[in-house]
């Protein structure tokens, strides 16, 4: 059971309703995570705004979802692992690609470099080296894309922490964590 109220979309207040309408348009429903975050209209606007902005970013939805599942697995977030696995497949990744990303791996060198960097950010609390950034550049990422990868990491930390700390019920098809949190 969630540790905060899940805001009911049918009775959402005026500060939350516009975001809920957009979220429902994107997902067909308002997922539980957004319902939990809607207790703070400012937090909901921040989270949804980040999803919208990064959804149109240059690294692409597929890579963004692969980063999300790698981070979710490292942080023990069942909710995000389930949601982003499904979203990754909708963005064109195969089930095998999403399983590999969950483990922080990819056969594609560019994706592998991004996943490695994202996980180093998580594991080292952002204390990465010049060599780590150079590895991204060698894989073909420019400065804007490197910043986008960092933005995806930050957004996924936010969503992982919300879902784990608030014990938000998973409302996507469950995926088994591969790494103990």
Burial label, 133 (beta-carbon count in 10 A; 0-12, 13-18, 19+): middle
11 pLDDT above the threshold of 50: yes
Is residue 168 predicted with pLDDT exceeding 70? Answer: yes
Q: For residue 84, is pLDDT > 50? A: yes
| pLDDT at residue 113, as a whole number | 98
pLDDT band at 179 (very low <50, low <70, confident <90, very high): confident
Taking alpha carbons only, the member of 151, 119, 116, 160 closest to residue 134 is: 116
CA distance 115 to 14: 39
Kindly report, residue by residue over 144-156, the tens digit of the pLDDT.
999 999 999 999 9
First vs last C-alpha separation in the chain:
20
> Cα torsion at 30, 35, 40, 42 (round to 10°)?
-20
| Residues 99-116 pLDDT 10s | 999 999 999 999 999 999
Q: Which domains does the chain have, with CATH numbers?
A: 11-55 (no CATH), 61-165 (1.20.1290.10)
pLDDT at 135 over 80: yes
Which pTM was predicted? Answer: 0.95
CA dist., res. 104 & res. 98, Å (int) = 10
Radius of gyration of the chain (CA): 16
Determine the pLDDT at residue 181: 44
pLDDT (tens digit, 9 = 90+) per residue, 21-78?
999 999 999 999 999 999 999 999 999 999 999 999 999 999 999 999 999 999 999 9
Average pLDDT, the chain: 96
pLDDT at position 1 is 86
pLDDT at 59: 98
């Amino acid at each position: 059971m969630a540790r905060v109220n899940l805001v009911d979309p049918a009775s959402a207040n005026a500060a939350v309703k516009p975001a809920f309408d957009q979220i429902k348009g994107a997902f067909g429903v308002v997922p539980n995570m957004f319902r939990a975050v809607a207790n703070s209209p400012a937090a909901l606007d921040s989270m949804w705004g980040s999803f919208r902005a990064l959804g149109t970013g240059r690294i692409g939805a597929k890579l963004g979802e692969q980063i999300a599942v790698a981070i979710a697995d490292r942080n023990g977030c069942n909710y995000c692992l389930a949601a982003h696995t499904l979203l990754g497949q909708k963005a064109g990744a195969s089930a095998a690609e999403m399983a590999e990303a969950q483990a922080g791996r990819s056969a594609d060198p560019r994706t592998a470099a991004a996943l490695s960097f994202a996980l180093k950010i998580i594991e080292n609390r952002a204390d990465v080296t010049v060599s780590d950034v150079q590895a991204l550049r060698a894989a073909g990422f420019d400065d804007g894309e490197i910043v986008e990868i960092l933005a995806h990491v930050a957004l996924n930390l936010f969503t992982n922490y919300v879902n784990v700390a608030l014990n938000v019920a998973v409302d996507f098809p469950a995926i088994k964590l591969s790494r103990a949190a």
